[in-house]
Amino acid sequence: PLSFWKLLLNVNMGSVMSIGVFIVSGFTALSVVYGYLVWSSAAAQKQLKVTSANSEVTATSVGKGLQAFRKPVAVLGVLFSIGTATYTGFLLSAVTTNNFWYTPFLGIEAVPFLPILFLVSAASTGLAATLIGAFNCGDLTAYKKVDMVLIMLEIVLISILYLSVDPIFFSGSMAALFWLGVVGVGLLVPLFLSFYGITKHKNVILPVCGMVVIGGLSLRYFVVYTGQLF
C-alpha cells in the first residue's frame, strides 16, 4: 500500500488501478478543501477567533473570499465520489477469469454488475453515516426515506447477483457473513426498523444507520474475499 505513489509517476490510462489512484486522490483532496470551506463558513457565523500566522483574526475573514468556490468544489466532489464508489467494482470486474467478480449486469456483457452494486451501497452507507452525525439536527424524514429507497434497491441488486452466479459463492465459510452481516444486519433489519420509525414517529436513526454501515462493510469484505476462495 505504501507504494501507491508509483502509480502517480507511471501513468497508464489503460489500467483501472492507475485511474483509480487519481480518482481517490482527487476525491480526498476535494473533501479536505470542502471541509475547510464548510468549517470557515460555520465559524464565521459564530464569530469564532482563530489563529492565523501567529495573529488572531475573526473567522469572518478566514476563507471568506473562498466561499465562491464552495459549489464548484461540491460538484466536482460529487463526480469524484461516484468514481471512488465504483472504482473497486471496476477493478474487480477487470478480472475476467473470475466468475464471481466478472458478472455482467442482466446479461449485458458491456455493463459490469459490481460497480452498480457498489455505487448504490456506497450511497446508502454514506447517507447513513451522514445521518448518524446529524441525528439531532431537526426533521430528517426525507433523508430517511431516501435511505429506505436505497436499501430496497440494494436488496434488488443483491437478489440479481444471487441469481446470476453459482450458489456455491454464497455457501461455505462466507455464508454467515453474507446472510447475517449483509442481508440480515445490513438490509432487512434496517429496512424494517426504518418503516417502524417513520410510521410510529420514533427516532431510530442510530441503530438503523449503524447497521447499514456495518452491512456496507460486510458486503465489500464478502465480495472481495469470496472471489478469492473459488
Q: Whose grid coordinates read 437478489?
A: 159
Domain residue extents for the chain: 1-87, 95-230
Give the pLDDT confidence score for residue 120 in this predicted structure. 96
Query: What is the rounded average pLDDT of the residues 8-24?
Result: 82
- Inter-residue contact 226 to 176 (CB < 8 Å): no
pLDDT digits (tens, 9 = 90+) for 103-127: 999 888 888 999 999 999 999 999 9
How far apart (Å, rounded) are the C-alpha atoms in residues 183 and 190? 10
Q: Where are the beta strands (DSSP E) in the chain?
A: 49-52, 55-58, 104-105, 108-112
62-118, pLDDT tens digit by residue? 556 677 788 999 999 999 999 999 999 999 999 989 999 999 998 888 889 999 999
* CA of residue 87 relative to chain centroid, distance: 11
Tell me if 57 sits within 8 A of 48, measured CB to CB. Answer: no
User: What would the pLDDT profile of 157-206 be if each residue is shown by its tens digit?
Assistant: 999 999 999 999 998 889 999 999 999 999 999 999 988 887 777 778 88
Whether this prediction's pTM lies above 0.75 is answered by yes
Per this entry, what is the length of the chain? 230
